[in-house]
Chains A and B, each alone.
Chain A
Amino acid sequence: MPVHTFVLNGRRVSVDCPGDLRLLWVLRDLLGVHGPKYGCGLDVCKACTSHINGEAFNPCSVPVSDIAPTDEITTIEGLPDTVGQELHPMQEACLEYEVAQCGYCQPGQIMAAVAKVNQLRSHGAGQITDADLDEIRNICRCGTYFRIREAIRAGAARM
């Protein structure tokens, strides 16, 4: 089987597995990285949201062979290191606004929120609007959506 190499949370990793194996299973089943959660495997629920080179994506929908050796994959476990802090400001905001209930969707929510804020910034947007927040697709079956919105606004202000 081919060996696939990429940068995961700042460290180079190599995995010997079929090229069509979706990255989520490479992360969870082969590398033991459990922050990205399985909620559908269909690129719908977004529970596995992680970053590739700083952009949000869903590893459930990417064959590992699509990942280049130079690609930097960041999961929730590696998010604080991207800002050199113990916690990323978005994680701090989620704590402050008591977002989580069961917590299953939260790694994906936080990774999506960080990317959404960065995307808006790169497009030169000012304040985060309700319409911007409406675009976030991540499911939270506990219904913490309102606090997610509050935390994203607060987290963005500190990013």
Chain B
Amino acid sequence: MGMSDPVEARRGAGTGRAGAGTGLIPRRRFLGYLIAGPTLAAAAPLGMELLRSPAEASLPSPQMSDVYDLSDLLTDAARPTSGLIVVQVNQDGTASFALPRAEVGQGITTAVAMTIADEMDLPVGRVHVTLADARPELVWNQLTGGSNTMHAIYTPVRVAAAIARGQLVAAAAALLGVDADALSTDAGVVTAPDGRSLTYAELATRAAATETSEVAATLKADSELKVVGTPQSRIDARDIVTGRKTFTLDLDVPGALPTMVCRPPSINGTVVAVRNLAQVRAMPGITDVAVVPTGVAVRGTTFGQCIDAVDALHVIWGPGTAEGKSDAAVLAELEKAELPMAPDPAPLARAVDRRFTFHFVSNSPLETNCAIADVRADRAEVWSSLKSPIVAQQTIAQALGLPQSAVTVHVTQGGGSFGRHLFFDAALEAALISRAMGKPVKLMWHRTDDFRQGRAHPMCTSRVRMTFRAGTVLSFQQRHTSVSTDFSHGLGEILSASVAKVPEGNLLAYSQGVFSLSQSVPYDFGAADQALNEVDMGFNTGSMRNVYSPDVTTAMELVVDEVAAAMGMDAYEFRRSFASDERSQAVLDKVVEVGLWGRAMPTGTAQGIALHSEYKGRVAVLVEIDCRPQTVQRQVVNGYTGPRVTRVVLAVDVGLPINPRGLQAQMQGGIMDGIAKALTFSLHIENGLPVEGSWDETYYTRQWNVPPEIDVIVMPPTTGQPGGAGEFGVAPTMAAVACAYARATGTVPTAFPVNHDRPLGFTPLPAVPPLPEEPTDGLSQAY
């Protein structure tokens, strides 16, 4: 056996001693590559599962997400690509991998490190995962979205890692003069039966390929995996707690001085004139002032001086794209756009018919929009947290009039995303500012701008009509009507992005495609039919964590509760008996068991339960809520309290959990989002601009809203393939909280969050000047 045949070596090199029996298990074989280089490098193409036909070219039929969902679409989109992903073995015996995805807190760098470690028999701490620059040859396969990363990348990463390990074993076999079958690998060391051993560090150069060639690999059997499926710490945990983790604004790019933009008093307003440009340019610390398409940019020594300069600018503004609009005006337009229901199948059956309103919600992370750009005459370099870096690179190149190859786009670690980083607003803006000023810039959006001019989950309504008779549900219809969701990032490159950007019909078709691929009814409800209509009203929108599902599911589950009650059934028993499959029943049973469904509760408190199916998984949530006056009327300075969710029990089946600890964390995050969306978190639109300008105004969950008790149960593997995790907990939590609120208060809410129509609990910040003054009384608040 020579070094050119790692497959043979691989076959004999199981974890520990390769048992004779392992050869009997048929395993899938995959093709990958050895890449010529100074040390060992193994590669695999992305997207190598068998192609499943994405049905007809026309719009997907209702309920097709049961068989072919958004995750499949994103995985299939990768198939024509020729780009490879590469596992590099370094001279110190560590492995390196540049992940063509964005890490924004969801933990995929850790999950990928675990996957490589497992297949290579390396400690997780010896696998370095970084984020790849924009790689245009990956075409559709550098989009981070739809909770699809692990689903799409798990097998290709394993193939590359398996080839690397096989090649290390082959090299060791040649050096030790031992048959590869006799060698074992563990913790980065290859050991012979006589005890002689070689480390991966000793083998990294010797195992290097002199020419690039295609090779086959066999993956470990599931039973041989030691790391995947076990709880693991984030690979960047220590950097995080010591403050060393580097985000965009922490990068030190020479000459890239703090830069901010003076933004209009209504959404997307434009600059007509600037009255005092020279004056502001002369302010202390300010180096440059330039008019750009989004406003007036200022660059200076510190961000503090930029804030002063922004507020000193005297700008005459043209109208915005949502000029004069308010919540009420948007709602009226949505009502006009609602698609009609089909006639009921049995006209004499009983029906429950409800319409719910879901208000705008900011998808701003804690780290505001930011980017660094250094644009020169013949090239440009950009740094930002980007989930669609290829289309960012292409669009920036177009805007600058440069060839795509002259624009380098670095993907940085993101301080959260929640949908915001699907777009590259800050990267494009920074590039345009850098060109206008002829200097490198470090662009940061102000918090107030990030809420008011940044993207938001669009306002929508959802009407649900269910008919039923004598213990049977006859029909389920849902008409979801939304302000347009901007999907113009497409599948992450310019071709599909262009399709999504074409105005009118195509934009809606794109949204409807996403809706059909992601939404489904997890119950056997006879004729089930969900449809979407969207209307463009000039707002800056985008997907927010879990996109349509939280609103769609909340509307559905509230009506399910009403129908169950009308049929004289317990809310859990009803869900269980109509659930479409055993996986759904299993998660329902689990939360009922752990959460003690049906236990006696004081007046003003109640339980709620909800079920959700998406991302190749199933999830059920049971919550308890306290709506008693002494709880609702708790006082927090500059904060909103309201009802408190006191307990959450969530059971999740993702098919194959890679990192149960990371999965639990994602579910807890989804729980906090679901609580916020049900009870507190929204934007009010007045006069063409969101009213909210600070975290004390748009009420995302705070410690005083957090449930004191949370149980997240990760169900055992069911499918052998990892489903999505990052967004999965939001919808069922929001729905369960809404159901519990309805039960506790005796009133089914019709608008979300339930506090939206109360009087504002704050005095809105002015729109001009755009930025609130920086406080000066910080020392008086010290504790």
- The answer to whether residues A30 and B302 also contact, given A57-B782, A139-B702, A145-B706 and a CB cut-off of 8 A, is yes
- Contact assessment for B776 and A62 in the assembled complex, using a CB-CB cutoff below 8 Å: yes
A69 within 8 A of B: no
Which residues in A have their C-beta under 8 angstroms from that of B105?
100-104, 142
| Consensus secondary structure, chain B interface | loop
- Contact assessment for A29 and B668 in the assembled complex, using a CB-CB cutoff below 8 Å: no
- Contact assessment for A140 and B245 in the assembled complex, using a CB-CB cutoff below 8 Å: no
B358 within 8 A of A: no
Bound-state CA distance A77–B240 (Å) is 11
- Contact assessment for B700 and A41 in the assembled complex, using a CB-CB cutoff below 8 Å: no
* Proximity string of chain B (648-678) to chain A, C-beta cutoff 8 Å, 1 when within and 0 when not: 0000000000000100011011111100000
Return B591 CB to nearest CB of chain A, in Å.
17
Which residues in A have their C-beta under 8 angstroms from that of B304?
21-22, 24-25, 29
- Contact assessment for B302 and A43 in the assembled complex, using a CB-CB cutoff below 8 Å: no
- Contact assessment for B694 and A61 in the assembled complex, using a CB-CB cutoff below 8 Å: no
Return A149 CB to nearest CB of chain B, in Å.
7
B710 within 8 A of A: yes
- The answer to whether residues A115 and B775 also contact, given A38-B249, A141-B700 and a CB cut-off of 8 A, is no
Bound-state CA distance A25–B665 (Å) is 32
Bound-state CA distance A23–B465 (Å) is 57
Which residues in B have their C-beta under 8 angstroms from that of A136?
703
Query: Which of chain B's residues 393-424 have a Cβ closer than 8 Å to chain A?
Result: 413-416, 418
Q: Give the B interface residue count (CB, 8 A).
A: 77
Which residues in A have their C-beta under 8 angstroms from that of B754?
none
B158 within 8 A of A: no
- Contact assessment for A116 and B783 in the assembled complex, using a CB-CB cutoff below 8 Å: yes
- Contact assessment for B366 and A29 in the assembled complex, using a CB-CB cutoff below 8 Å: no
- Contact assessment for B706 and A149 in the assembled complex, using a CB-CB cutoff below 8 Å: yes
B56 within 8 A of A: no
Return A11 CB to nearest CB of chain B, in Å.
16
| Pick from B233, B238, B250, B301: contact of A34, CB under 8 Å | B250
- Contact assessment for A98 and B782 in the assembled complex, using a CB-CB cutoff below 8 Å: no
Query: Which of chain B's residues 364-386 have a Cβ closer than 8 Å to chain A?
Result: 364-368
- Contact assessment for B703 and A133 in the assembled complex, using a CB-CB cutoff below 8 Å: yes
B71 within 8 A of A: no
- Contact assessment for A61 and B668 in the assembled complex, using a CB-CB cutoff below 8 Å: no
Query: Which of chain B's residues 180-224 have a Cβ closer than 8 Å to chain A?
Result: none
Which residues in A have their C-beta under 8 angstroms from that of B252?
32
B695 within 8 A of A: yes
- Contact assessment for A39 and B447 in the assembled complex, using a CB-CB cutoff below 8 Å: yes
| Pick from B444, B704, B778: contact of A62, CB under 8 Å | B778
* Proximity string of chain A (55-71) to chain B, C-beta cutoff 8 Å, 1 when within and 0 when not: 11111111100100000
- The answer to whether residues A34 and B661 also contact, given A45-B447, A149-B706 and a CB cut-off of 8 A, is no
| Pick from B234, B247, B307: contact of A100, CB under 8 Å | B234
| Pick from B302, B444, B671, B694: contact of A21, CB under 8 Å | B302
- The answer to whether residues A41 and B447 also contact, given A21-B305, A98-B661 and a CB cut-off of 8 A, is yes
- Contact assessment for A91 and B241 in the assembled complex, using a CB-CB cutoff below 8 Å: yes
- Contact assessment for B415 and A143 in the assembled complex, using a CB-CB cutoff below 8 Å: no
| Pick from B239, B416, B694, B701: contact of A42, CB under 8 Å | B694
- The answer to whether residues A100 and B782 also contact, given A18-B284, A25-B303, A95-B233 and a CB cut-off of 8 A, is no
Return A95 CB to nearest CB of chain B, in Å.
6
- The answer to whether residues A61 and B781 also contact, given A25-B303, A45-B447, A137-B703 and a CB cut-off of 8 A, is yes
Bound-state CA distance A138–B236 (Å) is 21
B107 within 8 A of A: yes
- Contact assessment for B669 and A139 in the assembled complex, using a CB-CB cutoff below 8 Å: no
- Contact assessment for A101 and B106 in the assembled complex, using a CB-CB cutoff below 8 Å: yes
Considering the complex, give the chain A residue whose CB is closest to the CB of B693: A42
* Proximity string of chain A (141-155) to chain B, C-beta cutoff 8 Å, 1 when within and 0 when not: 111111111000000
Bound-state CA distance A146–B701 (Å) is 11
- Contact assessment for B303 and A43 in the assembled complex, using a CB-CB cutoff below 8 Å: no
| Pick from B638, B669, B702, B708: contact of A130, CB under 8 Å | B708
- The answer to whether residues A44 and B695 also contact, given A39-B367, A116-B783, A140-B366 and a CB cut-off of 8 A, is yes
Query: Which of chain A's residues 88-145 have a Cβ closer than 8 Å to chain B?
Result: 91, 94-95, 98, 100-107, 110, 115-116, 119, 130, 133-145
Return A15 CB to nearest CB of chain B, in Å.
11
B104 within 8 A of A: yes
- Contact assessment for B366 and A76 in the assembled complex, using a CB-CB cutoff below 8 Å: no
Which residues in A have their C-beta under 8 angstroms from that of B665?
98, 101, 144, 147
* Proximity string of chain A (3-32) to chain B, C-beta cutoff 8 Å, 1 when within and 0 when not: 000000000000001101111111011101
Q: Give the A interface residue count (CB, 8 A).
A: 75
Bound-state CA distance A42–B775 (Å) is 6
Which residues in B have their C-beta under 8 angstroms from that of A25?
258, 302-305
Return A8 CB to nearest CB of chain B, in Å.
13
Query: Which of chain B's residues 237-291 have a Cβ closer than 8 Å to chain A?
Result: 237-243, 245-247, 249-250, 252, 258, 284-285
Which residues in A have their C-beta under 8 angstroms from that of B777?
43, 61
B582 within 8 A of A: no
Which residues in B have their C-beta under 8 angstroms from that of A159?
none
Considering the complex, give the chain B residue whose CB is closest to the CB of A35: B243
Bound-state CA distance A138–B252 (Å) is 27
- The answer to whether residues A58 and B243 also contact, given A37-B415, A38-B303, A142-B416 and a CB cut-off of 8 A, is no
- Contact assessment for A107 and B243 in the assembled complex, using a CB-CB cutoff below 8 Å: yes
- Contact assessment for A110 and B241 in the assembled complex, using a CB-CB cutoff below 8 Å: yes
- Contact assessment for B240 and A100 in the assembled complex, using a CB-CB cutoff below 8 Å: yes
Bound-state CA distance A119–B632 (Å) is 27
Bound-state CA distance A17–B774 (Å) is 17
- The answer to whether residues A104 and B366 also contact, given A57-B782, A62-B779, A141-B700 and a CB cut-off of 8 A, is yes
- Contact assessment for B783 and A56 in the assembled complex, using a CB-CB cutoff below 8 Å: yes
Bound-state CA distance A95–B240 (Å) is 9
Which residues in B have their C-beta under 8 angstroms from that of A40?
447, 694-695
Return B303 CB to nearest CB of chain A, in Å.
5
A156 within 8 A of B: no
Considering the complex, give the chain A residue whose CB is closest to the CB of B364: A141
B333 within 8 A of A: no
Considering the complex, give the chain A residue whose CB is closest to the CB of B669: A143
Bound-state CA distance A14–B124 (Å) is 43
Which residues in B have their C-beta under 8 angstroms from that of A22?
304, 774
Return B79 CB to nearest CB of chain A, in Å.
31
A87 within 8 A of B: yes
Bound-state CA distance A100–B234 (Å) is 8
Considering the complex, give the chain A residue whose CB is closest to the CB of B710: A146
- The answer to whether residues A147 and B668 also contact, given A42-B775, A61-B776 and a CB cut-off of 8 A, is yes
Bound-state CA distance A135–B702 (Å) is 9
Q: List 17 A-B contacts (CB under 8 A).
A: A21-B304, A29-B301, A42-B696, A42-B775, A44-B638, A45-B366, A57-B779, A59-B778, A60-B774, A61-B778, A91-B241, A102-B415, A137-B702, A142-B105, A142-B416, A145-B703, A146-B707
Chain A to chain B: the 6 pairs with minimum beta-carbon distance, closest first: A102-B105, A143-B672, A35-B243, A61-B778, A104-B415, A103-B240
- Residue numbers of B with Cβ under 8 A of A are 104-107, 233-234, 236-243, 245-247, 249-250, 252, 258, 284-285, 301-305, 307, 364-368, 413-416, 418, 444, 446-448, 636, 638-639, 661, 665-666, 668-673, 694-696, 700-704, 706-708, 710, 772, 774-779, 781-783
Having A34-B250, A39-B447, A149-B703, one finds 12 other A-B pairs with CB under 8 Å, namely: A21-B302, A28-B249, A61-B774, A61-B777, A101-B107, A102-B104, A102-B366, A136-B703, A137-B702, A137-B703, A141-B418, A143-B670
